[in-house]
Amino acid sequence: MCQVTHLRPERSARRPVFSLTALALAMASLGSGSLHAAETSQASTAAAVEIDAINVTGQSVEQPTEHVVGYVAKRNMSATKTDTPITETPQSLSVVTSDEIRDRQSETLGQALSYTPGFTSSSTAFNRTADRFRIRGFGVESGTGGSLRDGLRLQNNSYDGIQEPYGLERVEVIRGAASVLYGQLSPGGMVNGVSKRPTETPFHELNMQVGSYDRKQLSADFSGPLAGSDTLSYRLTLLSRNSDTQQDYLNDDKFYIAPALTWRPNEDTSLTLLSFYQKTDTRFSATLPYQLVKGVGDGAFKIGRHDFVGEPDYDDMNGEMSTLGYEFQHHFNDNFTFNNKLRYYESDVKWNYLQIQPSAAAANLAASTGTLLRRYSDRRERARTWASDTNIESKWQLGSVEHTFLVGFDGYDTSYDSHNFRGTPNNTPSLDLTRYNYGQPVVVNKSRAADRGSQLDTLQKGVYFQDQIKFDDKWILLLGGRHDWADQQQTAHRDGAKASQDDEATTYRAGLVYVADNGLAPYISYSESFFPVSVAEVTGQTFAPTEGKQYEVGVRYQPKDSNMLLSAAVYELTQTNVLKLDPGTDQYRQTGEVRSRGLELEAKADVTSALSVIATYAYTDSRTTKSATAAEVGQRTDETPYHQAALWTSYDFVNWGIPQLTLGAGARYMGTTQASGMDSAMPAYTLFDAMARYQIDENWAVTVNASNLTDKRYAQCSFATCQYGDERTLLTSVNFNW
């Protein structure tokens, strides 16, 4: 009979109990590095006794939801839903800390993740309206379930809004198939933003920022125990911005507030309320036909990177996004932990814009004559979601084998109501590119028969299990499985036509890691994903979910007690049941297959006490391997370079006698990319960034940031349309902490 031994989970107690002697030693050592004590004998001795110096060194255990000093995170929750060292995780992942976000003054997730391997995003002009990325060549966004907040999918519509980086403690990127724990996902992976949470140590922060395009921004972050309570702590994060952009008539105004409250009656129980409200006022940056883009097209007329092709009096995009939820955790004993999350999400977006008529004939007309044909898009989109995740984590031991077993249930109840009215060149005024004749009225037909929108209700449920098996203190075997049910019900506003679709899927994952004494941790893994094909329009067609399968081999290196993490991985990732338009029938068929193979390298390290480095490289070969259109077979995936590299360094001049000064510099290389519908590949380019921070005193600091320092002109293209990349941006920030 096997003997079962219970393991005590490693977690820091909220109020550790020290003896008075230990507390005195620690406090004295922190203050002076040595302790002198004198004992007086009442009976006979009055001599002082000197105790030898005692150096007390210690390092708190990193918590995967708390602040990390510097760039190197060592633990994560996203990949396993348990507090797991990254070196024991058999899947490629990256963590961007709030210190890294702060140093580069990232205003979008795309900017925050720009030094992450295998990751690409559109320009800021586009990403201020949607968190839309590619990972390993596959689209990852809110519309594919890939945008998460605190382990729950945040949105189901691409244009609900974006996550505010200032409200995040870290961003975790999981690369590759990950449906076993999260259900419906793109095979490329997911991006999980971790909210700032209440702290038990008080701190207060105020920031003022000015910069390019008349940018003015105020932000604040306050946290600590509530006055008069030893069980309640709070967090309040705020941001208000008023700014123009590099594009004429396109603003970037935002208000963000995120209150949070934690109740911790004892070390075993905690309840955290998390919420945020976000209001944005901007305009949609419409994509441009490649024929009209400078440096890409060859026509007589071009649209510059500052030019606005809409109508200033018509174009508008106002959105509100809000969430309210909680995270509850209770340790029944040293072996069992109960976790429950619940969140309500709501968004309301009013979205009017003029876009360029997409036909090749219209683009060629504009390029040759300067007459730009446009069509209006008048939209109102509302979404709401109830999201929940409940699991039980148990730790136990059979003989010499340790188990961390997780079983759980999650679900999403989502409603998406859209009203979409689209014009034609016949009822939308054209634009003269020789003089930009703004001020023309736009008359929108909002009859029911013209409404292209619908009411879409989805219900997704899933049960999952995972076992992290550790044996010989070196080997970790991870096994997991999941079964999902996904139901969609849709009603067209135009005519009341209905469509429904029910899907089920079972997915698996497995991985093996060996953690050596010298810090090397090689691993091998297999994982799967699935994603139901959305009923975008009520056509009577139904499709099977797309499926993803990934094989990955990698190695990590983290020497003991070092602040360094080196990672390398090779993979093959395939998505099947991809929808492809059959040109013979003008109908969609699930004959498509996309395969991605690649190599990813990442290094994050505090090389010395003064020098920190981030270095990444990715080789990605992503292409169509099966299609209803023969010409597409072998074609590279859009916006996915073969080669991608980045380097960021920061240096504190403490060894030069200027401890107040920190300089940072970075370079981002993007190799050639392919765009569907274009004969030639987009050229490679390199962008340079810089940062300088001066700590005036313990409270005040001034930081200057430059993005695209050399003002490199480049364009990003896909599906025969392009956007200009971000031009040089300068920001000055004043920070006050107390």
Query: Which structure tokens are listed for 176?
Result: 């590759």
Cα(146)–Cα(164) distance, rounded to whole angstroms? 16
* 2 has pLDDT over 60: no
For residue 585, the model assigns a pLDDT of: 74
Contact 91, 85 (CB under 8 A): no
| 605-653: pLDDT as tens digits | 999 999 999 999 999 999 999 998 888 999 999 999 999 999 999 999 9
Burial 133-158 (b: 16+ CB within 10 A, else e): bbbbbbbbbbbbbbbbbbbbbbbbbb
Could you tell me the pLDDT band of residue 537, with boundaries at 50, 70 and 90?
low
For residue 145, the model assigns a pLDDT of: 82
For residue 126, the model assigns a pLDDT of: 74
For residue 129, the model assigns a pLDDT of: 84
* 1 has pLDDT over 60: no
Query: Which structure tokens are listed for 354?
Result: 């003029």
Residue 251: strand pairing partners: 244
Return mean pLDDT, the chain.
89
| Main-chain dihedrals φ then ψ at residue 678, nearest 5 degrees | -120, 140
Within 8 A by CB and 6+ apart from 556, the residues are: 86, 87, 520, 521, 522, 523, 565, 566, 567, 568
Fill in the DSSP letter of residue 682: B
* 33 has pLDDT over 70: no
For residue 5, the model assigns a pLDDT of: 36
For residue 490, the model assigns a pLDDT of: 92
For residue 14, the model assigns a pLDDT of: 32
* 522 has pLDDT over 70: yes
Q: What percent of the chain shows pLDDT beyond 90? A: 80
Cα(631)–Cα(624) distance, rounded to whole angstroms? 10
Higher pLDDT, 128 or 231: 231
Lowest average pLDDT, out of 164-168, 422-426, 479-483, goes to 422-426
